[in-house]
Amino acid sequence: MRPDPALDRFLDELWAVEGLARLTLDAYRRDLTALARWLHPRGVGLADASRSDLLDFLGARMRAGARPRSVARWLSSLRRFYRFLTASGLRRDDPTARIDAPRLGRPLPGSISEIQVEALLAAPDPEDPLGRRDRAMLELLYATGLRVSELVALEQSQVNPRQGVLRVTGKGLRERLVPLGEVAGDWLADYLERGRPALMQGHPPAEAVFVTRRGRAMTRQAFWYRIKAYAAAAGITSELSPHTLRHAFATHLLDHGADLRVVQMLLGHSSLSTTQIYTHVARARLQALHARHHPRG
């Protein structure tokens, strides 16, 4: 099957105009290539698929055992592709216009308690350069709500200790200023003064804030491995994800009365609806506290 020029043009547009990350572009390519391969035996090109073709494709996926969330993701990719085709004048109609997405339950993000956070933050050894680095990274995650990918991508030019802020580049290449907080700022300063120079000794200069013993930038995978090790050492048995401290950051802010709009800005969400998921977490905790402590709970 030959490469589809409409697909290539669509991906070029997402890369050049919207600045989407390579992993996101690859996901669009996989979804749309799967549809193109399914259409090929029917003699239908990707750009020419009808509403009936798309319904048959999604139905076949569901019969093969695909979950509603996966089907919704495919449909989202298809919508974006065919809307691009109509906007570009490459076809007259949008075959996804009258296709409804499957209903999804709204999952609550996994988080951990404030006591568990304290135990996790205290797990690294502050007398070891790697421990100083990891403590600073964990403190930053919890104090700022950064994504792990944003944390490991930090460069020294993005850190402003005097003003106590980070200049972070998030999804869609959107920049935002994030306050460090006093405690996280102190741990970061300690790492930059004593931990990082020890790790960089004998290596060429590097822009990355957080580096390995080889003087190279930390990776998401390496840091996630260390988070799991520290969680085990801290006796945390809850299921963790790379975003656990980001979720804890948002949940604990709301628990202590922060405004949802402020949390949205700090997390770098483009839409408030994305942030509103955390109100369910905070509300559930308030109900549990009421039931436990109120005389008529």
| DSSP conformational letter for 112 | -
Residue 181's nearest CA partner among 168, 169, 202, 163 is 163
Residues taking part in catalysis: 147, 171, 243, 246, 269, 278
pLDDT for residue 185 = 93
pLDDT for residue 68 = 80
Of the given ranges (90-94, 166-170, 228-232, 291-295), which has the lowest mean pLDDT?
291-295
pLDDT at 86 over 90: yes
Pairing of strands 165-169, 175-179: antiparallel
Per-residue pLDDT tens digits for 104-125: 555 555 678 889 999 999 999 9
pLDDT at 284 over 60: no
Confidence of residue 245 (pLDDT cuts 50, 70, 90): confident
pLDDT for residue 50 = 94
What values do phi and psi take at 211, rounded to 5?
Answer: -125, 165
pLDDT at 239 over 90: no
Indicate the pTM of the whole model. Answer: 0.58
Per-residue pLDDT tens digits for 191-212: 999 999 999 999 999 999 999 9
The domains located in the chain, with CATH, are: 5-87 (1.10.150), 114-292 (1.10.443.10)
pLDDT > 70 in the chain, percent: 86
pLDDT for residue 275 = 62
- DSSP string computed for 164-194: TEEEEE-GGG-EEEEE--HHHHHHHHHIIII
SS3 content of the chain, % helix, strand, coil (to 5): 60, 5, 35
